[in-house]
Amino acid sequence: MPERRGSKQVYKRGKEPSIAPGTPDCPDWLQGYAKERWDYITPLLAGAGVLSEVDQDALAQHCDTMGRWWDARQKGDLADREYLSFMATLGRQQQQFGLTSSARARLAAPVEKQVAEGKERFFQPRIAK
């Protein structure tokens, strides 16, 4: 997050759209392991404040890819090239939702600002080194 590092680039960016956090409904066409993945990951992402109802299609795509990978793996039908293709696709999708530690460091979740009172309005707390 540029805000935490004091980057000047945060002020150069234009007004970014604000979409209210929310939990999308699971599409009817998700089945099997893909639906299990949806039921597992959706509450976690919603609880972190990084999920919105407009994310339904992208999240469904991620869950469907996971389901297809799981099914092929269980059947033993996964060749090396297919496995690498699945992993590359899943890696890109995981970046979008902050499902890796490096992706979470770049995510911007909505944060409620606390209003300080009294003298605390003018002073920032010092960080001990």
Nearest partner of 93 among 79, 101, 103, judged by Cα: 103
Please check whether residue 32 lies inside any domain of the structure.
Answer: no
| Residue 44 belongs to a domain | no
Packing angle of the helix pair 80-97, 56-75 (nearest 10 deg): 150
Q: 60-110: per-residue pLDDT in tens? A: 999 998 888 888 888 887 777 777 888 888 888 888 777 776 777 776 655
In this predicted model, what pLDDT tens digit does every residue of 18-33 receive, in sequence order?
778 889 999 999 999 9
Is residue 78 in some structural domain? yes
Dihedral, 121, 123, 128, 129 alpha carbons, nearest 10 = 130
Q: Structural domain tally of the chain?
A: 1
Q: Is 37 among the domain residues?
A: no
Report pTM: 0.64
Domain hosting residue 65, numbered range: 54-97
- Does any domain span residue 86? yes
DSSP E strand boundaries for the chain: none
Q: Scanning the structure block, which residue is given the tokens 């920032």?
A: 124
Measured in residues, the chain has a length of 129
Q: Are 1 and 106 in contact (CB under 8 A)?
A: yes
Could you tell me if residue 88 is inside a domain?
yes
